[in-house]
Amino acid sequence: MSDGARPALSIVIPVFNEAPSLVALHQRLARTLEKIGRPHEIIFVDDGSRDESADVLRALRARDATVRMIRFNRNYGQHAALFAGMERARGEIVVTLDADLQNPPEEIPRLLAALETGADVVGGRRVSRRDPWGRRAASWLVNQATSAAIGVRLRDYGCMLRAYRRSVIDRILAFRGTPRYIPVLAAAFASSMTEIPVDHRAREHGRSRYGPLRLFGLAFDLSVQVLALGPIGERVSRIEQEARRGPRYVIAEVLE
């Protein structure tokens, strides 16, 4: 893709202490994108990693012109990293993906195919999950609370493997601050959402940031939101006001 040309597809990947997985992720993702055959960009957002993730990303950028890197000055959380990547994504379709390889990048063509059926947002539903039972139970509770909060019944709101049309991304980005629950905003702005079953692998390196206690806390927050908020428009407004209270993020380095 030539400099300044707008890609058709943007891949946004939050990164936090994932140095051992990044080279393999990039190799598999590059092969997948080559088969797809559309102009693309890969945006890694380093969310204040304390390992060698930034060094690995710099090396990937040096040898692959489609790679872009954003590095925060400290850890702000996964949703802040997603928002930063979405802000800089130029593609008509934006795909989000975890850096830990639990969701294979080879599933991306299936997400794109599902978008072609007319959906605005396509989410992955992890089958045969390779997570501890406590985390699966907490995720189930989060899914129930989220479905109740926004009135869109999906079975796996926690799966990072998702594809968004540009129209939905632009509406999410219209909010000031960092949205706390990006799937909530996506559901509010999408004309239709669907999900497809995707593979799920065991984590080979490091540990998840979302343990059971953190997931139960998220479920509690969402449950309170169900009780406190009215119609979907009011819900989105409340999320926007909540998001404005805290700092957004500070970028320490950008490689493009």
Count of domains for the chain = 1
Q: Read off the tokens for 177.
A: 């601050």
Q: Is residue 2 part of a domain?
A: no
Q: Is residue 238 part of a domain?
A: yes
Residue 173 to residues 162, 167, 168, 179, Cα–Cα distance (Å): 17, 10, 9, 9
Q: Is residue 141 part of a domain?
A: yes
Instruction: Check pLDDT > 50 for residue 184.
Output: yes
Q: Is residue 4 part of a domain?
A: no
CATH code of residue 49: 3.90.550.10
Q: Read off the tokens for 214.
A: 């953190």
Domain that holds residue 31: 9-255
So what's the pLDDT on residue 225? 43
- Grouping H, G, I as helix, E, B as strand and the rest as coil, residue 205 is coil
Res. 186 pLDDT band, cuts 50 70 90: confident
Strands across the sheet containing 162-165: 193-198, 121-126, 162-165, 93-96, 9-15, 40-46, 67-72, 251-255
Tens of pLDDT along 20-64? 999 999 999 999 999 999 999 999 999 999 999 999 999 999 999
Q: Is residue 1 part of a domain?
A: no
Res. 18 pLDDT band, cuts 50 70 90: very high
Instruction: Check pLDDT > 70 for residue 219.
Output: no
Q: Is residue 25 part of a domain?
A: yes
Q: Is residue 45 part of a domain?
A: yes
Task: Please report the DSSP string for 29-51 in residue order.
Answer: HHHHHHHHTS-EEEEEEE-S-SS
Q: Is residue 99 part of a domain?
A: yes
